[in-house]
Amino acid sequence: MAGLGVNKLGEYYRKFNMEEKTGIDIPGEKNGLIPDPKWKEENKNEQWYLGDTYHMSIGQGDVLSTPLHVALWTATIANGGTIYQPHIVKKIIEKNGNVKEIMPKIIRENFVSFGSVDIVRRAMRETVLSGSAKSLGHLPITNAGKTGTSQHSGSEEDHHAWYTSFAPYENPEIVITVLVEEGGGGSTIAVPIVGEILEWYYHNKM
């Protein structure tokens, strides 16, 4: 990933909407942050090093993302490459009885090839088949995902535990993103939580 260089990495992060608010219909949403050499010079009075590009490529360093951003890109990978605006409200029933359905809204599409998306989908499936989420391989619902362990900047506190997942793998219906602040490793803390949710979903919603 770092071989893409800082500018190309930043371009694709932004195409996946990781620096912008999603427009979800609840207040208080935060932007993400995708750093680059200009940002680092202006905000930290430091030059950009190759190590910054490596950190950026794995979501470390000064990269900031909300759980909603992570869920959004997970859904985008799951569905083949279309970014939909997330929303809470399904429909609005007015006093006079009129019903306003909240229709899906596309934020961006056709910005990455299906072949590239499919490579990532298969890699996320491999996380469950032979990687850091292998403990979910026993579930009755096929699933895929990505673990993460993010650090506090300059802190000795425990790391944040991440896991983001979609299921069923063949025809996705659900995305789950779990962040446990100061939880430790994603594979040991966040993955089992997602497993319990997926098992409930299989037995109660499918």
Q: Which two tokens stand for residue 79?
A: 């569905």
What's the DSSP call for residue 68?
Answer: H
pLDDT the model gives residue 152: 66
- Give the residue-averaged pLDDT of 130-154: 89
CA 80 to chain centre: 14
Read off the pLDDT band of 156 (50, 70, 90).
low
pLDDT the model gives residue 2: 39
pLDDT the model gives residue 1: 41
For the cut 80, the answer to whether the pLDDT of residue 155 exceeds it is no
pLDDT the model gives residue 52: 94
pLDDT per residue over 118-127, tens digit each?
999 999 999 9
Contacts of 153 (CB under 8 A, 6+ apart): none
In terms of Cα–Cα distance, which of 62, 26, 72 is closest to 42? 62
Q: What's the start-to-end Cα distance of the chain, in Å?
A: 36
pLDDT the model gives residue 180: 93
pLDDT the model gives residue 83: 97
pLDDT per residue over 80-118, tens digit each?
999 999 999 999 999 999 999 999 999 999 999 999 999
Percentage of residues in the chain having pLDDT higher than 70 = 96
Q: 119 pairs with which residues across the strands?
A: none
- CA-CA distance, 89 to 106, in Å (whole number)? 16
- CA-CA distance, 195 to 206, in Å (whole number)? 15
pLDDT per residue over 46-77, tens digit each?
999 999 999 999 888 899 999 999 999 999 99
Q: Which two tokens stand for residue 112?
A: 């990455």
